[in-house]
Structure 1
Amino acid sequence: MIDRPARIAVQLHPQHADYGQIRDAVLRCEDAGVDIVFNWDHFFPLNGDPDGKHFECWTMLGAWAEQTERVEIGALVTAVGYRNPDLLADMARTVDHISGGRLILGLGAGWKERDYVEFGYDFGTVGSRIADLGAALPRIRARLAAGNPAPTRDIPILIGGGGERKTLRLVAEHADIWHSFSDAPTLVRKSGILDEHGAAVGRDTATLVERSAEVRHGSPAELADPFVAAGATLFTIGLGVPDLDLSLVEEWVAWRDAQG
């Protein structure tokens, strides 16, 4: 048994599909019993035809907030360099209200050079993008606190990334959820580093920060035990939208339900 309830998420890839297909995929995920539906924050497809169909993240989240009733929604993850942090916070506050308090605010430093270059943003370096994330987080928190009406809840902040010296320090300071992008052995090691950062900043990250893992390539029979042993309680399956196959998702939902 795991102390924090297990949760199952699906990341729908908003590419190579008409929007009606994406809308239907969200409903199918909610009907399948998942806890969270994520998209991603890019401007072009990440695989397949690089100039294929693709849709913008936050406009889509507003639509998902209206069409769903139960699932939490969010981006896995929003690159802070694409939008003014205060504007991003106000977008999040608005989607929080549209959804009735079901938004997860996923944030990251960004990495896809084409997104930056073609949309006129400064790509910079890995270090400068992580520094931008560090500068954005306090501004986002301050703007959320200043909004009228206030958010319906303390919007959970998810930070994605695994940089041991800088990114995990930001996770320790700010995150409610950490998405590690790693396998189970790496998650164990980096969780220890995260907790060291937590001790340094006076935050009990072992208790306060939920660990999120990607399980798109395996069933719960293969992956659940090692990831649970590593501390993960949020399990995310990434799926393409055309010809959506929820069989793996259904296995993970059944496993979650069996945890009691």
Structure 2
Amino acid sequence: MTIAHPQPIRIGVQIAPQHVDYPAIRRTAAQLEEAGVDIIFNWDHFLPISGDERGKHFECWTVLAAWAEQTSRVQLGPLVTAISFRNPDLVADMARTVDHISDGRLVLGIGAGAMERDFAEYGYEFGTPGSRVGTLAEALPRIERRFAALNPPPVRKIPVLIGGGGEQKTLRLVAKHADIWHWFSSGEEFARKKQVLHQRCAEIGRDPGEIELSAGVGGDPGETGSALLEQGVTTFTLEVHGPDFDLSAVRNWVAWRDRLGS
């Protein structure tokens, strides 16, 4: 049975840029595009987030620029870039540039940052959860203004994805600024966070249907995917790790997406 949704159902894959040489990352990005994935993401960390803390690792935005040149169809972006690591106007300029390199395929995933090791390693002030979200709140309008001022402007209105589920602050920012909201897990917690997001949208008079829902997933798409689909999620993102980058689960989710559209 075909299920109607306001947004197309999309499969995203986050390629973990850790514990692997770059040729394997390049090859995996090509394989994912060929497999029919809709979006490829990386992450914005400076060190591995699992395994050997001093293992191999690659920087977020330079990898995105390489993917923008390498690929031709798939959308791409960070899941998510930490706003404290770069001046917000610079983030807008970087995003605009990658958007042009990719002919309008960038998704700007953005968040407050959460891993203290990253901040300490590169000399950024970690602060508190509240201060980091405050930095994000100040940055989002600056990014929007810089997009409008850049010459040339972005190829399209770059979709802004905000990751995180803080109910008092982050979801207010999602309601005000985001085109896509991403929560990093599924299940009952997702349903509760979604309800809070609807409340935040009501407070400012925004239609929550304007915000695409995205979730990190795993397991059987027939179970996990179908349950999230009932919650209105339309972008489903898996994570793959090297050095082997097993894509069998990804192919299962792509096949599930295609069956829903048949």
Check if 1:239 corresponds to 2:240: yes
Structure 2 gap ranges (5+): none
Q: 1:182 deviation in Å? A: 2.7
Q: 1:229 deviation in Å? A: 1.2
Match of 2:156 among 153, 171, 182: 153
Match of 2:42 in 1: 39
Match of 1:259 in 2: 260
Q: Deviations over 1:33-86 (max 9, x none)?
A: 000000000000000111000000000100000000000000000000000000
> For residues 62 and 202 of structure 1, what CA distance do their matches in structure 2 show?
37
What SS class does the counterpart of residue 96 from structure 1 fall into?
helix
Q: 1:192 deviation in Å? A: 1.2
RMSD value over aligned CA atoms? 0.8
* Kept in 1: contact 2:185–2:217 (CA 8 A): no
Check if 1:204 corresponds to 2:190: no
Alignment of 1:66-215 (within 5 A): 66-205=69-208, 207-215=209-217
> For residues 123 and 45 of structure 1, what CA distance do their matches in structure 2 show?
18
* Kept in 1: contact 2:17–2:58 (CA 8 A): yes
What SS class does the counterpart of residue 103 from structure 1 fall into?
coil
| 2:216 maps to amino acid | E
Task: State how many pairs are aligned.
Answer: 258
* Kept in 1: contact 2:44–2:79 (CA 8 A): yes
Q: 1:222 deviation in Å? A: 2.3
Q: 1:2 deviation in Å? A: 4.0
Q: 1:32 deviation in Å? A: 0.7
Runs of 4+ deviating beyond 2 Å: none
Q: 1:244 deviation in Å? A: 1.2
| 1:169 maps to amino acid | R
What SS class does the counterpart of residue 172 from structure 1 fall into?
helix
> For residues 34 and 219 of structure 1, what CA distance do their matches in structure 2 show?
17
> For residues 255 and 105 of structure 1, what CA distance do their matches in structure 2 show?
26
Identity of aligned residues (%): 59
With normalisation by structure 1, the TM-score equals 0.98
